[in-house]
Amino acid sequence: MTATTTSGAEAPRKGFRATAQSEPIKPFRLVKYFSITSLVIIFLGTIILSVLNIHWARRLQLEKNKDYALLLIENLNHQIFLQFVIPTILKKKRIQLRERSQFELMDKVVRSTLHGFNIDMVNIYDLSNTISYSFDKDVIGRANAGGAHYQSALNGERSTQLEQRGGFVQLLIGIPEQSRIVTYAPLRAEKPLSRIPGPVLGVVEIVQDMSSEYKAIFRTQIRVILTSSAVMLVLFLFLLQVVRRGEAIMEHRARERIRLEEQLARAKHLSALGEMTATISHEIRNPLGIIKSSAELLKKKMDKLETNNALPEIIVEESARLNDIITDFLNYARPHQPDLRRTQIEDIVDKILQYLELELVQRRIDVIRDFQNPLPAVAVDADMLHQAMLNLLLNALQAMDSDGRLEIRIKGFDQDVQIEIVDSGPGIDNAIIEKIWDPFFTNKEKGTGLGLGIVQNIIEAHNGKIHLENADFGGARVLITLPLKQEPN
């Protein structure tokens, strides 16, 4: 399939893309900047929030375990004093855990009190910093086993420390091989019905293994990161669509502004050019009419004298041709307002094809008519549209050799009617494609270069659009769009 050029004396062929075009606008890269910065911010935000959340979770877990250990120690202190210290003092007069019976009683009290609680180790120190009781029998009797925390406990203070063991990477990402909380508290004598603490009898050390809790927190951290990333990704995609829409609107407005500025500049230029052309054409037409009428009168006199002189006839013919050129100038400079009447566009096209039938047959041009049936009536000026379509079809014929192919399609849509003309010529040359809409531009030996300009003026006077480009398989393609929502005069 190929394409027609639009009218008049103008459409050189080869590779173009329609109507008057301006320099390409450099695209606004808001989406690119938004995408990069947003991805970085979302990633960092997700990591930071996750780290903070896990830090808070671990801190809460640590505080919970501290309180848990202190409550256990208070309960253990009460049970030891009640079930071990008092009975032993009453029975034995002194406490010596090296005695088997006393140790077994202490062990029974401690284990029954802590039964069901997550306690990994219990050590009880005497006042001389020696381990008197422990779950681990191998450390019983070890001297100077307590450190600074032991000394603080002797002074009545309770303290807790977190101990972690593992490789550097394990500690860095928060999953140490082992985590445990070690709590030191004084073991005191109790005074019945009194809130005043009694004297310190020793020091209790409780060890809680938190490895499973920390690993559970780490798994929660992974879930939080994945969930946050998913939510952030959905939000990012939504915002990306919003930004793309905004960018498209901004780019459209920028193009529209440039187009309007170009139209305004072109309108000012054409207005000045039109005034000048109209004035000159008017001044030329008056003496031209006198020359033509004088030549016709001279020809009649010479015909009566039977003088064989072709000079008057040449003057008449050239005067008529010059008058046609002036008419083109005036039509371009001062386009008429269309007299809109409901018309079937296919009737106009068929009338033109009937007019061109002889030339089409002689040059063996194959005409393909593809008209939608039925087509809606369109409010147009039939004479002006006839002129525009005739110029386009003549231009297409001039572009083709014999045995060519001319395709004409007309389709109706909800808002408009589209007319497509495709020829089998050589197409539009890229070197001149942007100039074909300029007034007085032509690549033909004859012609004013106003044909396409007149066609464009006619289509735009109907609030329509015209688009000219090279077809996919050679030749030129013209697409005209005329609005349906337009009332007749």
Write the CA distances from 40 to 35, 48, 224, 231, 473, integer angstroms.
Answer: 9, 12, 18, 15, 47
pLDDT digits 0-9 by tens, 284-319: 777 777 887 887 787 777 777 666 677 777 887 777
* Amino acid, res. 91: K
CA dihedral 445, 446, 450, 451 (to 10 degrees): -100
Report the domain count for the chain. 1
pLDDT for res 120 = 86
d(CA 8, CA 5): 9
Note if the bond before 374 is cis, omega within 30 degrees: yes
CB atoms inside a 10 Å sphere around CB 143: 11
CB atoms inside a 10 Å sphere around CB 261: 11
Give the position of tokens 């000045």: 272
d(CA 9, CA 336): 21
Highest mean pLDDT among 17-21, 77-81, 334-338: 77-81
Do the Cβ atoms of 451 and 6 come closer than 8 Å?
yes
In a domain? residue 485 = no
Q: How far is C-alpha 314 from the geometric centre of its chain's CA atoms?
A: 68
What is the torsional sign of CA 373, 378, 384, 385? negative
pLDDT digits 0-9 by tens, 146-163: 888 888 888 888 888 888
In a domain? residue 44 = yes
d(CA 203, CA 186): 4
Confidence category of residue 74, pLDDT binned at 50, 70, 90: confident
pLDDT digits 0-9 by tens, 27-62: 445 556 666 677 777 777 777 777 777 777 777 877
pLDDT for res 363 = 92
Higher pLDDT among residues 236 and 408, named by residue = 408
- Six-digit token string for 171: 């500690």
d(CA 294, CA 118): 126
Q: Name the residue range of residue 48's domain.
A: 30-220
Higher pLDDT among residues 213 and 199, named by residue = 199
Write the CA distances from 111 to 81, 105, 116, 133, integer angstroms.
Answer: 15, 10, 9, 12
The CATH number of the domain holding residue 146 is 3.30.450.20
User: For the chain, what is the total number of helices (H) and then of strands (E)?
Assistant: 11, 12
In a domain? residue 100 = yes
pLDDT for res 345 = 92
pLDDT for res 24 = 45
Confidence category of residue 76, pLDDT binned at 50, 70, 90: confident
pLDDT for res 90 = 84
Residue 54: closest CA among 226, 174, 180: 174
pLDDT for res 335 = 63
Do the Cβ atoms of 406 and 396 come closer than 8 Å?
yes
The end-to-end CA distance of the chain, in Å, is 38
Residue 286: closest CA among 318, 313, 316, 323: 323
In a domain? residue 451 = no
Write the CA distances from 469 to 2, 3, 156, 241, 405, integer angstroms.
Answer: 10, 7, 95, 32, 17
d(CA 140, CA 98): 9
In a domain? residue 207 = yes
Whether residue 278 is predicted with pLDDT greater than 90 in this model: the reply is no
In a domain? residue 162 = yes
Do the Cβ atoms of 328 and 453 come closer than 8 Å?
no
Q: 3-state DSSP call for residue 469? A: strand
Mean pLDDT of 8-27: 40
In a domain? residue 121 = yes
Mean pLDDT for the chain overall = 79
**Phi/psi of residue 244, each to 5°?**
-60, -40
Write the CA distances from 105 to 40, 93, 142, 430, integer angstroms.
Answer: 63, 15, 21, 106
Mean pLDDT of 254-283: 76
pLDDT for res 442 = 63
Higher pLDDT among residues 171 and 151, named by residue = 151
